[in-house]
């Protein structure tokens, strides 16, 4: 059974870090309702939910993907590029430890956010962003090379994280909203989407993707490619540069 690591949104969600967007009001009650709906989309499809303890003192704590990246049976605990987010890792580490995965850590001077890591087959694209530095990428490459993964560094300047600009369909096609993609020529197969919030997809299985409800034209595009598309509203998290990928960590059998 696939498993999903999540954390409920903090009551201080509206105080989260922002890099490329202007701050606008965030409705905490609506955010919680949207988070519940997001989690239910997985639960109803047979995913086991592993809920990390709430962390009200960590406004960005709901974005659990940034704290840990999973490669098969190996969990890499990240080291946040934003100092304010480094307190998130310890509570996520406890959930990961209980899951039975082998665990390693990115250490100083490296920084690495999980949102900068995109896995496509055995290739790992890592964004060199304002949150992930060269030392962090080098540490990750050293950990993965011996395990048969190839790390490829990609530039990230237009958005917060690599996966704010590109994700991948089940067949490995890289997808993104072109104004937010720094170097589309660096990907062997790229498909442009017509909406900003259509950039992010979570692969549920070989035929199904989950994405934001705020990209209906993109959803139709993927249905036209023969995919089943599950949409969820996540507007309150999108106000904070979040997307469907960063609200969970997926552990697959």
- The reply, when asked if residue 158 is annotated as ligand binding, is no
Structural domain including 210 reads 3-14+26-251
User: Average pLDDT in the 30-42 region?
Assistant: 98
Q: Residue 131 falls within a domain, yes or no? A: yes
Angstrom CA distances, 211 to 21, 113, 147, 192, 215, stand at 20, 21, 30, 15, 8
- The reply, when asked if residue 169 is annotated as ligand binding, is no
Alpha-carbon distance of 237 to 119, in angstroms, equals 23
Q: Residue 95 falls within a domain, yes or no? A: yes
For 92-122, write each residue's pLDDT tens digit.
999 999 999 999 999 999 999 999 999 999 9
Mean residue pLDDT of the chain comes to 96
- The reply, when asked if residue 66 is annotated as ligand binding, is yes
pLDDT value for 168: 98
Q: How many CB atoms lie within 10 A of CB 26?
A: 19
Alpha-carbon distance of 221 to 99, in angstroms, equals 36
* Confidence band for 188, pLDDT divided at 50, 70 and 90: confident
Alpha-carbon distance of 188 to 173, in angstroms, equals 8
The CATH code of the domain that includes 199 is 3.75.10.10
Residues recognised as catalytic: 161, 246
For 127-148, write each residue's pLDDT tens digit.
999 999 999 999 999 999 999 9
Does the pLDDT at position 253 exceed 80? no
Q: Residue 19 falls within a domain, yes or no? A: no
Total domains present in the chain: 1
Q: Residue 118 falls within a domain, yes or no? A: yes
Q: Residue 70 falls within a domain, yes or no? A: yes
- The reply, when asked if residue 85 is annotated as ligand binding, is yes
- What predicted TM-score, i.e. pTM, was given to this entire model? 0.96
């Amino acid at each position: 059974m696939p498993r999903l690591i999540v954390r409920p949104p903090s009551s201080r969600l509206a105080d989260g870090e922002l890099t490329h967007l202007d701050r606008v009001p965030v409705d905490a009650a609506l955010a919680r309702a949207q988070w519940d709906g997001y989690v239910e989309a997985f639960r109803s499809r047979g995913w086991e939910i592993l809920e990390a303890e709430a962390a009200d003192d960590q406004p960005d704590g709901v974005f659990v993907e940034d704290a840990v990246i999973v490669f098969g049976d190996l969990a890499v605990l990240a080291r946040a590029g934003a100092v304010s987010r480094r307190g998130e890792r310890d509570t996520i580490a406890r959930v990961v430890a209980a899951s039975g995965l082998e665990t390693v850590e990115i250490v100083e001077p490296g920084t690495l956010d999980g949102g900068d890591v995109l896995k496509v087959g055995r290739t790992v694209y890592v964004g060199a962003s304002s949150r992930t530095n060269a030392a962090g990428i080098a540490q990750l490459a050293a950990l993965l090379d011996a395990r048969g993964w190839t790390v490829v560094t990609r530039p990230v300047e237009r958005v917060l994280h690599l996966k704010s600009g590109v994700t991948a369909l089940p067949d490995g096609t890289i997808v993104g909203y072109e104004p937010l993609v720094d170097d589309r020529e660096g990907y062997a197969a790229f498909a442009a989407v017509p909406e900003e919030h259509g950039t992010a997809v979570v692969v549920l299985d070989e035929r199904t993707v989950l994405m934001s409800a705020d990209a209906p034209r993109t959803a139709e595009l993927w249905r036209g490619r023969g995919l089943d598309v599950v949409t969820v509203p996540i507007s309150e998290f999108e106000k904070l540069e979040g997307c469907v990928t960063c609200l969970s960590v997926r552990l697959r059998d």
